[in-house]
Structure 1
Amino acid sequence: MNDMSAAPRPERQRKPDWIRVKAPVSKGYHETRQLMRDLSLNTVCEEAACPNIGECWTKKHATVMILGDVCTRACAFCNVKTGMPRKVDPLEPEHTALAAAKMGLEHIVITSVDRDDLPDGGAGQFVKVIKALRRETPNTTIEILTPDFRGKMRASIEAICEAGPDVFNHNLETVPRLYPTIRPGARYYSSLRLLEEVKAHDPMIFTKSGMMLGLGEQRLEVHQVMDDMRSAQIDFITLGQYLQPTPKHAKVEDFVKPQVFDAYGSIARAKGFLQVASSPLTRSSYHAGEDFAQMRDARAAKLAKAQNKPGKKDI
C-alpha cells in the first residue's frame, strides 16, 4: 500500500543541451582517481561535483582540496560536507607535491574548505603545500584558491604571499544583494578587500576571482561586480553557470545562454582584465594552466608596451 502522506520528492531541473557533459569513462580519469585515493588526497572536482571532471581528469588535471573534506560553513550553493572537520593531515603537503610530480603538472590549483576552527584559518597549510611543491616540482606554477580567512585575513595573506604562489584566487561567487541567502557566512566587501590586500602586499602575484551566474542576479549587478574587481586590481575573472548540486541547495533561477556569457566576456575585456573566462561550463580551475600562460603573456605585453611608450616632448 502506498504511503499517501509521504512528502513529494523535489523536482530536478532539466539542464539545457549546452550544459550537458558526458560521464567520465576514460583510462586517464580512472588513473587520476586512483592516484588521489592512493595519496589520501581530496579534490574539489569530486567534492563539488564539477561537470568538467571527466575532461580534466582524462588530461590528468586535478584541483587538490587541502585541509580535509568537511567545511565549517554551509553555503547554499556548495556540495562540500558541512560539520566539524578532522585534524589537519601533516602528510598532506608532501602528498600533494608527490601527486604533482607523478602527474607531471606544469600548473597546479590548490583549494581548501573553510576552516574557521583553526587559529590561522588554514593559511599555514597553504604555506606548507606551496613550499613542498617548490621543493619537489620547482617548475610547476602554483595557483591557490583560498577561503576568506574570516577574522584572520591580514596575517594569513602575508604568510601565503611570502610563500610565493603565482596566482592568488578567491571567488566573490555572486552579487552583494544575494550574499545573505547564497553565501551567508561571508561578506562581499571583505572578500573584495582580501584580493586588494594581496596586490598591496605583492603586486606581481596574479589575482583572480569568479562568479556563478543563474542565481537571480541582474545584468547591471554583474557589471558592478566587474567594476569592483577592477578597482581591487584583480587580473582574471571567471564567469560560469551555477548548477544545483542537490534539491536541498539553492535552485537555478536561470540557465544563462552561451551568447550572454560571450557578451559578459566582451564587457570584462573592455574593462581591462588581463584574462577572462566566460562560458556556461567555466569553473575556477577549468583550463587554469592554459589561462595562466595567456595571462602571463598578456601582462608581459602590457609592460613592454608601457616601457616603449614615448614620453612627452619638452615644450
Structure 2
Amino acid sequence: MTVRIEIDHRKTGAARHPEKAHRPDNPIQRKPAWIRVKAPTHPVYVETKALIREKGLVTVCEEAACPNIGECWSKRHATMMIMGDVCTRACSFCNVATGIPKPLDATEPQRVAEAVAAMGLRHVVITSVDRDDLADGGAAHFAATIRAIRAAAPGTTIEVLTPDFLRKGDGAIETVVAARPDVFNHNLETVPRLYPTIRPGARYFVSLRLLARVKELDPSIFTKSGLMVGLGEERIELIQVMDDLRAAEVDFLTLGQYLQPTVKHAAVARFVTPEEFADYAALARGKGFLMVAASPLTRSSYHADSDFEALRAARDHQLAVRADRAR
C-alpha cells in the first residue's frame, strides 16, 4: 500500500526552529500525485533504527525529514550525520535545528565505523551539520571518520557530503581529501540569485571553488553536487549552474524537488513535473556529467550505493573510449 506521509507542522515549526519563529508562516501546499512514498513498516527499517539508536548516532534521514527514509532504511541504507544535530547556519530550506552545537565527541568516528560494519554496507554516505564554530569546520573529524570506517569495514566505499568550510582556508579541504573518500559531495543547493534568501550563510562561488579544488588535489576522487528545484529558479539559471559545475569538473549531478519541512521554512514556488526532470537530466548528460540523478524524490544520498557503481562504470567506459581514440 502506498500512502502520503504528511508532517505535523504544528510540532515541527517554530518549536523546533526558534531562530525561524519571527518569520511569517508559509502555508504548506498539497503535494501532487507523483510525490508519494511508502510508509516505513518493513522489519529491516525497525532493525536499522534500533542499531542507530544503540550506537547513539544521528542520521540526516531523520533530521532533514527525508521522504525516502522508509525505502532506504528497509535496505539498510542510512546517511550518517556527524558532529551533532545542531547546525550553526539557518538555511531557510533545511529542517536541521540551528543553535550552539555541543563539543565534538571523539568516540563518534569509531561508533560510526562500528555501525557501518554491523550493517554490512557496501557504500556509506557521511554528512554533517555546519560547524562554523570549529577552527577547521570539522574537517579533521571527517578525516577521522573515514579512517575509522576503512579500518572497520575495508570493503565499504565512502562518500562524504561536506559543508562549504567557509573561511577555513584550503587546509580544511586538503585534510578531507587526504583521507581519500571515494566520492566528495558538496551541494550547491540552488541558483546564485536565491542564495540570500535560501542559503544566506553560504557563498555560491566558495562552494563552486571547493568542488574545483578537490579535483585539483586528487583527480581520482569523484565529485558530486546537488540542487533543489521548485524554489523559484528559472530554467536558464539551472542551465548556467550545470555549466559552472562542469567547468569545475564535477562528475555527478543530483536534482530533486524541494519539499517544505514546516510553515517556517521557504515556500515551494512550484512542483516540477517528472517530465521536466527528465528534460533536465538529458540536458545535464549532454553537458558531460558522468552521472545524473533527477526526479522529484531524488536526494543527495538516495540510491548512493548503486549510483556509485554506475558512476565508476561510466568513468571506466570514458577512459576506455579515450584510450581507443589515442591509438
Q: TM-score, normalised by structure 2?
A: 0.92
Whole-Å separation in 2 of the counterparts to 1:39 and 1:186: 32
Which of 215, 238, 247 in structure 1 is aligned with 2:263?
247
Q: Verify: 1:149 aligned to 2:172, yes or no.
A: no
Whole-Å separation in 2 of the counterparts to 1:151 and 1:10: 32
Deviation at 1:36, TM superposition (A): 0.7
AA aligned to 2:57 is: L
Gaps of 5+ in 2: 1-23
CA contact (8 A) 2:25 2:264 kept: no
Which of 275, 287, 293 in structure 1 is aligned with 2:309?
293
Whole-Å separation in 2 of the counterparts to 1:244 and 1:301: 39
Whole-Å separation in 1 of the counterparts to 2:46 and 2:113: 20
**Residue by residue, what CA displacement relative to the aligned partner does 1:96-125 show, whole Å, maximum 9, x if unpaired?**
111111110000000000000001100010
**For residue 296 of structure 2, what is the aligned residue in structure 1?**
280
**Aligned in 2, Cα 1:55/1:153: closer, same or farther, shift over 3 Å?**
farther
Whole-Å separation in 2 of the counterparts to 1:10 and 1:297: 43
Q: How does 1:118-197 map to 2 (within 5 A)?
A: 118-197=134-213
Q: Verify: 1:232 aligned to 2:241, yes or no.
A: no
- Larger RCO (alpha carbons 8 Å, 6+ apart): 2
AA aligned to 2:177 is: C
SS at match of 1:55: helix
**Residue by residue, what CA displacement relative to the aligned partner does 1:208-253 show, whole Å, maximum 9, x if unpaired?**
0000000000000000000000000000000000000000000000
SS at match of 2:116: helix
Deviation at 1:9, TM superposition (A): 7.5
Deviation at 1:22, TM superposition (A): 2.2
Q: TM-score, normalised by structure 1?
A: 0.95
Gaps of 5+ in 1: 1-7
**Residue by residue, what CA displacement relative to the aligned partner does 1:126-157 show, whole Å, maximum 9, x if unpaired?**
00000001101011000000000111141011
Whole-Å separation in 1 of the counterparts to 2:234 and 2:278: 16
Deviation at 1:11, TM superposition (A): 3.3
CA contact (8 A) 2:26 2:267 kept: no
CA contact (8 A) 2:125 2:159 kept: yes
AA aligned to 1:79 is: N
Whole-Å separation in 2 of the counterparts to 1:36 and 1:90: 18
Which of 229, 233, 237 in structure 2 is aligned with 1:221?
237
CA contact (8 A) 1:168 1:207 kept: yes
Q: Once the two structures are aligned, what percentage of the paired residues are identical?
A: 64
CA contact (8 A) 1:75 1:185 kept: yes
CA contact (8 A) 2:137 2:168 kept: yes
Kindly report structure 1 stretches of 4+ aligned residues shifted beyond 4 Å.
Answer: none
Which of 79, 82, 94 in structure 2 is aligned with 1:63?
79
**For residue 18 of structure 2, what is the aligned residue in structure 1?**
none
**For residue 5 of structure 1, what is the aligned residue in structure 2?**
none
Whole-Å separation in 2 of the counterparts to 1:9 and 1:171: 26
AA aligned to 2:244 is: D
**Residue by residue, what CA displacement relative to the aligned partner does 1:288-315 show, whole Å, maximum 9, x if unpaired?**
010110010110111111112145xxxx
CA contact (8 A) 1:153 1:194 kept: no
SS at match of 1:41: coil
**Aligned in 2, Cα 1:9/1:120: closer, same or farther, shift over 3 Å?**
closer
Which of 49, 53, 56 in structure 1 is aligned with 2:65?
49
**For residue 3 of structure 1, what is the aligned residue in structure 2?**
none
**Residue by residue, what CA displacement relative to the aligned partner does 1:263-308 show, whole Å, maximum 9, x if unpaired?**
0000000000000000000000000010110010110111111112
Which of 36, 39, 45 in structure 2 is aligned with 1:29?
45
AA aligned to 2:272 is: V
Which of 96, 99, 107 in structure 1 is aligned with 2:115?
99
**Aligned in 2, Cα 1:9/1:304: closer, same or farther, shift over 3 Å?**
closer
CA contact (8 A) 1:72 1:82 kept: yes
Whole-Å separation in 2 of the counterparts to 1:252 and 1:12: 8
Which of 222, 244, 251 in structure 2 is aligned with 1:206?
222
Q: What RMSD over aligned residues (CA atoms) do the two structures have, in Å?
A: 1.1
